[in-house]
Chain A
Amino acid sequence: AQKVTQAQTEISVVEKEDVTLDCVYETRDTTYYLFWYKQPPSGELVFLIRRNSFDEQNEISGRYSWNFQKSTSSFNFTITASQVVDSAVYFCALSGVTDSWGKLQFGAGTQVVVTP
């Protein structure tokens, strides 16, 4: 079975600090996708990034960066110079080929609180 672990329940930072969210996954699939989603207080789920299992390149998008390490089954997410608008719950998710392609297994989520 697939599993996604986000061990950090809540992280509180002051604006302009960096924050790193951990995500560890388990899967028997050799082909799979990893995702990060943001859920602000309004409740909608905003897609941030998709990474496939064959692409271990790290990615940077503005203040966001992602570190995918297959050797440790981790897909960590860093927000640089955090802002109040980054306050949200962030979910890591996994989709594999064995357990019905397209079905997402979500982690528990990490609440990020950014204070001015």
Chain B
Amino acid sequence: SAVISQKPSRDICQRGTSLTIQCQVDSQVTMMFWYRQQPGQSLTLIATANQGSEATYESGFVIDKFPISRPNLTFSTLTVSNMSPEDSSIYLCSCRVSTDTQYFGPGTRLTVL
């Protein structure tokens, strides 16, 4: 298994600002992912964070809005840029371990006013 931590756990931000969310895994993993969960909804994949290369974004998500870094095999960041109230969601990072199971971090609850 893997233990994942995220910072911050929650934040309230003003419209037009940016927030960077950090994700730390307790072991080296190849694949890390970022998901968004809008209020009362299921999880939607934003992007796959690849170490040493650019992130791969899903349809509907762009790098300018959600830049992602993956400097090493245990750490990734997601920035939510130029925020609007529609960005209010839970943002979760996950990693895939050798058993092909994905484990999730505790999530970052973001409220944009």
Contacts and interface: CB of A to CB of B under 8 A. Distances in A.
Contacts of A28: none
B45 A104 contact: yes
Q: Is the interface of A mostly helix, strand, loop or mixed?
A: loop
Contact of B43 (A42, A47, A100, A106): A106
A45 B92 contact: yes
Interface stretch (B18-26, B64-72, B79-87, B102-110): B102-110
Contacts of B92: 45
Interface string A99-110: 011111011110
A107 B106 CA distance: 19
- Interface size range on B against A: 20 to 34
Nearest to A6: B42
Interface string A71-94: 000000000000000000001000
B31 interface: yes
A101 B56 CA distance: 13
B13 interface: no
A33 B92 CA distance: 20
B101 A103 contact: no
- Interface size range on A against B: 20 to 34
A47 B90 contact: no
B48 interface: yes
A64 interface: no
A91 B45 CA distance: 14
A37 B43 CA distance: 11
A99 to B, nearest CB: 10
Contacts of A33: 100
A107 B42 contact: yes
B33 A91 contact: no
Interface string B35-55: 000000111110010000000
B52 to A, nearest CB: 17
22 contacts: A35-B101, A35-B102, A37-B104, A42-B106, A43-B90, A43-B107, A44-B104, A45-B94, A47-B1, A47-B101, A47-B104, A91-B43, A95-B100, A95-B102, A100-B56, A102-B48, A102-B96, A102-B102, A104-B94, A106-B43, A106-B44, A107-B42
